[in-house]
Structure 1
Amino acid sequence: MTVILPAKDAGAYIGTTLATLARQFDDIAHLKLVAIDDGSRDDTGGQMRHFGERFTHVEVLANPEPVGLASARNQGLAHVEGDFYCFVDGDDWMQPLRLQSLVTTMRALDTDFVRTDHVTATEGRRRLVRAPFAWRGRAVSPREAILPADESTMVDYPYAWAGMFHRRTLDQGLAEFPPGLFTAEDRPWIWRLHLGASSFAVVDAPALLYRRGVTDSLTQVFDRRQLDFLPAFSLALDAVEADAEADRFRPKIVATTLAVCSHHLFRARGMAVADRARLRVGIRELLGRVPGAELDEALSRLSDRRRRLLARTIREVRRT
């Protein structure tokens, strides 16, 4: 199987990530590591090359300038070998034999992909985050994990590193991320996966630990890169509109879009004035794609707080 590890300026953490990858199989020869140094200005690339000596199969790619997480992951996909692949970020780590366990499970279930819970690690505190699906260890259609529209479901759990994938998802064109996006690249990706794959399962496995609160993480910054959620959700809307069951799934993508837009409007106070203006224009254009009746229905299910955050933008949408 192949592990794809893109990282930028992750020198403070990536040693832990690489060390735990070396403990994922009883025989390390079963794992190929593809590490992508995405224009780092620290020793991320050097650590990739140093720790890479522990692996039987390893490729270290280097980008002179950052291309973003989506494009870096796509670079890794071009080097996948074997039946299975997965992603890990440069500030995460895994408990021993997680990947061996997932390979065994995928062979037994014969699914296109599996998803797992994960553990967040924030300043020494750990918390289990469960994948939002009732059935465990059972192969089902990924479409059955998209609804209901007003509850958290598997399309709201888009973390690329929280699972493993059969290479047939790569062969079917379901694996790639929208190139050039620095944030929210996993939103259209998860929708395409759930609409296009034949089978998946949520399974138990040794934990992946996701480090939260990293100050230079893109989830923590307030610059123009955060605006990438706008084209990302536009692509997710495109994927739903192109589907034969668009009417069934459109209420869900509209509800999720509104929730994420309200989240970014709340965070906008930390942005530069010009970026706040771009944010409002972008949200107005994005929501302008949604028919008025569907917009009203989705708004009625939002909390009062989220409706208040969106009120000005919704008025502007209705005036256009």
Structure 2
Amino acid sequence: MTGGLDVVVAVRDGAAHLPTFLASARRNVAPGIRFVVVDDASRDGTADVLEAADDLPLDVVRGTEHRGVAASRNVALERCDARFVTFVDVDDWCAPGHLPALLTHAERVGAGMLRTDHVRVDGLRRTPERAPWDGPRGVVVPGRAGIGDAGGRALVDYPYLWAAVLDRTQVAPGLLRFDEDLRTAADRPWFWRLHLADVTCAVVDSPGYFYRRSAGSGSLTQSGEDRLLDFLPAYHRILDQALADGDLVVERRAVYGACRIVDFHVAKRDRLRPRLRRQLLAGAALLLARGSDEAFAAGVAGVPASGRRVLRGLREVGAAADAGAAA
């Protein structure tokens, strides 16, 4: 394992966004920084654009079969040989010097998992967003300190891979693998696994990552595709981890997260086709039926009042379905 920073980039049909990404990469080249790019069997001009960028430290892997973003990231991680690793999405960009600054922070602070801020991009609007951490910045703390109890925001529910730097000398390789059957939301159980394993973490000021949320950027949360529902199995895995952990506070946090994300998607269910709407409600009912009554009461209390009645109703439907299946 060498020093430096490997930047994992998974791309599929990203030719339209690659010029912005490559321009950003050129403003972040520094000794020890390399971009590990996995082209997930793109059907557009992605391969040609990447091949032409021979002035950049790119390690490009071209897949011949579409496997999904989680599998692409796993392929990239297997090729990484730097001590530190982070992620970049091709439809986003970094401010000049952002990646070298992250590497400096990671080397100085010494946490297994470094978290940072970002800038949300909605069209022409730029909104700085701070990582959800009320403690001192630049101070190493146990990973479980980033879980917290039900209510508010916590690091464990800040599922942005590009707002994290991992020290591979402190993180077991198995913890970094993504669940390849999740087409989206694979980052959520991934972060939970790291925090429950108590990988040390720290938060630093470095709002140099620009996260594009504009319509047309390819963001799944702005689409009505069926893979949007992958948040359901993702949260089942989070609950699996939390319940196996056996700490009621952890369980409350996990149930609270499930309540919040179900409330978000159910409130926007009209954007889905009728079949997907039914699948969303049925799947949400089974998800919310999990966990103790105490954990659910704490979790649903943190949801806006407008959604609590719906969530309670879904939990009742899910519990009845579970009881029927058991009978």
> Which residue matches 1:5?
9
- Structure 2 residue ranges without an equivalent (≥5): none
> Which residue matches 2:159?
158
State yes or no: 1:127 paired with 2:131: no
For residues 242-267 of structure 1, what are the alpha-carbon distances to aligned partners after superposition, in whole Å with 9 as ceiling and x for unaligned? 22x52231111101101101111112
Deviation at 1:172, TM superposition (A): 4.2
- With normalisation by structure 1, the TM-score equals 0.92
2:226 to 224, 227, 231: 224
Give the letter for the 2:151 counterpart.
D
Contact 1:169 1:197 (8 Å CA) reproduced: no
Q: Is the deviation greater in 252-261 or in 42-51?
A: 42-51
Deviation at 1:278, TM superposition (A): 1.4
Rate the CA distance shift 1:62–1:172 in 2: closer, same or farther, 3 A. closer
1:32 to 24, 27, 34: 34
> Which residue matches 1:204?
205
1:1-320 alignment to 2 at 5 Å? 1-27=5-31, 30-51=32-53, 53-56=54-57, 58-134=58-134, 135-168=136-169, 171-205=172-206, 207-215=208-216, 216-243=218-245, 246-319=247-320, 320=323
**Structure-1 separation of matches of 2:35 and 2:30:** 16
Q: Is the deviation greater in 196-205 or in 286-295?
A: 286-295
Give the letter for the 1:19 counterpart.
A
**Structure-1 separation of matches of 2:170 and 2:188:** 17
Aligned residues: 315
Deviation at 1:37, TM superposition (A): 1.5
Rate the CA distance shift 1:307–1:206 in 2: closer, same or farther, 3 A. closer
**Structure-1 separation of matches of 2:18 and 2:300:** 42
Contact 1:84 1:165 (8 Å CA) reproduced: yes
Deviation at 1:99, TM superposition (A): 1.7
Partner SS state of residue 290, structure 1: coil
Contact 2:120 2:129 (8 Å CA) reproduced: yes
RMSD (Å) for aligned C-alpha atoms: 1.8
Give the letter for the 1:111 counterpart.
A
Contact 1:112 1:197 (8 Å CA) reproduced: no
**Sequence identity of aligned pairs in percent?**
33
Deviation at 1:205, TM superposition (A): 2.4
Partner SS state of residue 133, structure 1: coil
Deviation at 1:206, TM superposition (A): 5.4
**Structure-2 separation of matches of 1:269 and 1:64:** 37
Contact 2:113 2:164 (8 Å CA) reproduced: yes
**Structure-2 separation of matches of 1:143 and 1:252:** 12
**Structure-2 separation of matches of 1:237 and 1:60:** 36
Contact 2:111 2:202 (8 Å CA) reproduced: yes
**Structure-2 separation of matches of 1:121 and 1:259:** 23
Contact 1:223 1:272 (8 Å CA) reproduced: no
For residues 187-233 of structure 1, what are the alpha-carbon distances to aligned partners after superposition, in whole Å with 9 as ceiling and x for unaligned? 10111111114311101225011111142332211121011001100
Give the letter for the 2:139 counterpart.
R
Rate the CA distance shift 1:300–1:103 in 2: closer, same or farther, 3 A. closer
**Structure-2 separation of matches of 1:122 and 1:13:** 16
- With normalisation by structure 2, the TM-score equals 0.90
Give the letter for the 1:44 counterpart.
T
**Structure-1 separation of matches of 2:142 and 2:38:** 32
